[in-house]
Amino acid sequence: MKALLTAVLCLCTLAAFSDCVTVQMGKFSFSLESVKKLKNLMDSSETRNSQLLSARPAPLCANPDLPKEFLSLCATPDAHQIFEDIKPIARSPDLCEICAFAACAGC
């Protein structure tokens, strides 16, 4: 019973900290929650068009569900590369919550 209580407390603490975890890519900073939403958009974009090897920024930036935090990124010429850099974090956001990626901060 103690182990279960400890596990629940750890998960609650981790969830509380994930709200303030940010992903830093150069001059851009995004909340981890927005990166998690981005993952869903990337996955749906790749599923809809199986010929794409990766989600291109144009479809992502045109998607009305894209978190507003990414709009300034979409206006840059290197948006595609930054989206590619974010992809591993988006695919494993739990690792960002424990700061396993150098781009993650606020853990």
**Does residue 16 lie in a domain region?**
no
Q: Would you call 70 helix, strand, or coil by DSSP?
A: helix
**Does residue 73 lie in a domain region?**
yes
* Count: domains in the chain: 1
**Does residue 17 lie in a domain region?**
no
**Does residue 55 lie in a domain region?**
yes
Q: Would you give per-residue pLDDT tens digits along the chain (107 residues)?
A: 444 333 333 433 444 444 578 999 889 999 999 999 998 888 776 545 544 444 455 678 888 999 999 999 999 999 989 998 998 998 888 888 888 888 888 76
Helix (H) or strand (E) holding 72: helix 71-74
**Does residue 41 lie in a domain region?**
yes
Domain around 74? 30-105
Task: Give the model's pLDDT for residue 19.
Answer: 57
For the question of whether the overall pTM of this predicted structure is more than 0.75, the answer is no
Q: Two tokens at 99? A: 């700061």
> What are the angstrom distances between the C-alpha of 19 and each of 4, 12, 107?
23, 11, 10
**Does residue 44 lie in a domain region?**
yes
Task: Give the model's pLDDT for residue 94.
Answer: 86
Residues sharing a CB contact under 8 Å with residue 67, sequence separation 6 or more, in sequence order = 30, 34, 37, 38
Nearest Cα neighbor of 93 from 24, 30, 25, 39 is 39
Task: Give the model's pLDDT for residue 20.
Answer: 79
Q: Would you call 107 helix, strand, or coil by DSSP?
A: coil
Task: Give the model's pLDDT for residue 57.
Answer: 55
**Does residue 89 lie in a domain region?**
yes
**Does residue 62 lie in a domain region?**
yes
Q: Which CATH number does the domain housing residue 62 bear? A: 3.90.1450.10
Task: Give the model's pLDDT for residue 14.
Answer: 42
Task: Give the model's pLDDT for residue 32.
Answer: 92
